[in-house]
Structure 1
Amino acid sequence: MDFLKMMKQAKQMQEQMGSLQEEIAEIEAEGTAGGGLVSVKIGGKGELKAVKIDPAMFKEEDVEILEDLIIAAHNEAKAKVEQAMQEKTQEMMSGLGLPAGMKLPF
């Protein structure tokens, strides 16, 4: 194995990981629950960006349902962000010619 070539590939991979992390930070996903009564938007690092609640949910007896719907909507949005991150990572890895499924230490 050519050590210099390996070092060059490692540097390239590190640069691409930095770029990937910037792309992930810009990802936004929306999750909904209760047939659209509640929606949330989160960023690529899981931060909550927005919450929208249908005014029909503002009844005192519906507070617990509303709380559950917010959690469900957040979880859906988070799953979408994780899927997008996985796809971007796979694209980067295939571009480097590394074996599929190889885990990186950074």
Structure 2
Amino acid sequence: MKDLLGIMSKVKEMQAKMEQLQAELDTIEVDGAAGGGLVNVRLTAKGALKSVRVDPSLLNPDEAEIVEDLIVAAHADARAKGERLVQEKTQALTAGLPIPPGMKLF
């Protein structure tokens, strides 16, 4: 019975920490780049787009499709960085708890 109480205590503690982490992820920003840095995007760790920067040398109407592709690539880069950050912080938060492998908490 003591083990069950100990696990319940850890679960409550983890819930509080998860709420803090959720709030923190709204404030953490990650940058993604494409085209050798000609296109940059900034996202929150949760994936909300904050800004897009396009180098003026790309602003040629004949190259609009290239710019669009680079924005998508930069977004994907930033999104992957954000997902890795969330995974790292979640693993650190849940260390020592009996959570099945592959279970996503976010």
Give identity over the alignment, percent: 47
- Counterpart AA for 2:11: A
Per the alignment, residue 62 of structure 1 pairs with: 63
Tell me whether 66-75 or 17-26 shows the greater mean CA deviation: 17-26
* Deviation of the 1:105 alpha carbon: 6.2
Runs of 4+ in 1 over 4 A off after TM superposition: none
5 Å-filtered alignment, 1:1-106, equals 1-2=1-2, 3-94=4-95, 97-99=96-98, 101=101, 103=103
Deviation at 1:24, TM superposition (A): 1.5
Q: What runs of 5+ residues in structure 2 fail to find an aligned partner?
A: none
In structure 1, list runs of 5 or more residues that go unmatched.
none
- Give distance in 1, aligned partners of 2:5 and 2:94: 20
Distance 1:14 1:80 in 2: 24
Q: Which amino acid aligns with 1:26?
A: T
Q: Over aligned residues, Cα RMSD in angstroms?
A: 1.9
Instruction: Show CA shifts across 1:46-83 (max 9, x none).
Output: 11111111110111110000000000000000000000
SS in 2 for 1:41: strand
Query: Secondary structure of the residue that 2:91 maps to in structure 1?
Result: helix
Q: How many residues align?
A: 104
CA distance in 1, matches of 2:102, 2:92: 13
Question: What letter matches 1:90 in structure 2?
Answer: Q
Letter paired with 1:89:
T
Displacement of 1:4 after TM fit? Answer: 3.1
Distance between the aligned counterparts of 2:24 and 2:64, measured in 1? 36
Distance 1:104 1:38, change over 3 A: closer
CA distance in 2 between partners of 1:22 and 1:56 (Å): 38
TM value normalised by structure 2: 0.87
